[in-house]
């Protein structure tokens, strides 16, 4: 495992994302990941799997100081008291005294969190995935997070799905430094503006959906690059992210083979030309990936 240092904090650069993991599958995947050497585990109140993540951590003989555990506030937990109560419930489910990083899951003023800015204008999303925008200010939510930090319930504050303008504003509201912004980032979705800002301001960019909801798996361009190193397109995409300054990534995986393959990305390095070749921004491919991830089929 490799680590990166942001604001003096050491963070495992490769973690395990647990979105859409449930029940025994989630517990097994997290347990397996810990056995393989993963030390960065990402969950969220909205995922409904914090208890399973906590059970897996309790089952494995891993020093708590070696773990980096992150969770995120549910959309219903944005007002001050709701934030405090929600985090207490999260800690109880996780079986932990504190979490290393607590994110605001999405901006309050985004109609379709993390999604609406990448979809074509002609595409309508079903109402079932359109949460109501909250009226609570970001400043109030951050105030509650700061209080929890002072109590030792959380170590660091983060935001998720914030662009440059929202991140800049949140950093002004927050009394404590914002350690990370977790956003969708993969070869088809350009985050260069946000990444430049994060690098200049010493903020972690935590990349979720790094494989574009499976979209990179059959990418001929990535396959050609990977053949040189004996690596898959997915491993090339992960390596591309990890070679960027201030970037960590949290691919989801449930099978032992995929967990192991995702970890096998620290023994090769892409050239400058290959790094440029991997990046291929496409809002259409990003939108297709999002819809693939939302589909119940």
The pair of three-digit structure tokens given for residue 190, joined into one six-digit string: 């350009």
Query: Positive or negative CA dihedral for 81, 87, 91, 92?
Result: positive
In whole angstroms, give the CA distance from residue 248 to residue 260. Answer: 17
Lookup result for tokens 């404590």 = 176
Measured from the Cβ of residue 98, the count of other Cβ atoms closer than 10 Å reads: 17
Catalytic-residue membership of 47: yes
Beta bridge partners of 42: 17, 70
Query: Positive or negative CA dihedral for 145, 149, 151, 154?
Result: positive
Q: Given 38, 47, 185, 197, which residue is catalytic?
A: 47
The pair of three-digit structure tokens given for residue 292, joined into one six-digit string: 């693939």
CA atoms within 13 A on the CB side of 12: 23
In whole angstroms, give the CA distance from residue 124 to residue 116. Answer: 10
The pair of three-digit structure tokens given for residue 202, joined into one six-digit string: 């010493």
Catalytic positions are 47
């Amino acid at each position: 495992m490799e680590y990166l240092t942001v604001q003096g904090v050491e963070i495992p650069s490769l973690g395990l994302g647990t979105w859409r993991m449930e029940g025994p599958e989630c517990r097994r995947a997290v347990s397996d990941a810990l056995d393989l050497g993963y030390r960065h585990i990402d969950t969220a109140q909205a995922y409904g799997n914090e208890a399973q993540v906590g059970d897996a951590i309790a089952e494995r003989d891993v020093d708590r100081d070696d773990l980096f555990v992150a969770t995120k506030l549910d959309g219903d937990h944005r007002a001050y008291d709701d934030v405090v109560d929600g985090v207490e419930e999260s800690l109880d489910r996780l079986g932990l005294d504190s979490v290393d990083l607590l994110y605001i899951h999405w901006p309050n003023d985004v109609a379709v969190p993390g999604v609406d800015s990448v979809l074509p204008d002609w595409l309508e999303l079903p109402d079932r995935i359109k949460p109501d925008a909250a009226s609570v200010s970001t400043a109030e939510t951050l105030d509650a997070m700061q209080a929890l930090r002072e109590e030792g319930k959380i170590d660091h504050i983060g935001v998720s799905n914030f662009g440059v303008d929202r991140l800049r504003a949140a950093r002004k509201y927050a009394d404590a430094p914002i350690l990370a912004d977790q956003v969708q980032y993969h070869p088809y979705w350009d985050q260069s503006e946000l990444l430049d800002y994060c690098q200049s301001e010493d903020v972690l960019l935590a990349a979720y959906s790094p494989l574009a909801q499976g979209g990179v798996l059959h990418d001929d361009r990535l396959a050609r690059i990977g053949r040189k190193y004996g690596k898959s397109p997915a491993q090339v995409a992960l390596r591309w992210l990890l070679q960027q300054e201030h970037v960590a990534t949290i691919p989801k995986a449930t099978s032992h083979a995929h967990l192991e393959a995702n970890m096998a990305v620290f023994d090769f390095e892409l050239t400058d030309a290959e790094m440029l070749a991997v990046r291929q921004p496409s809002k259409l491919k990003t939108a297709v990936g999002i819809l693939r991830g939302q589909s119940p089929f």
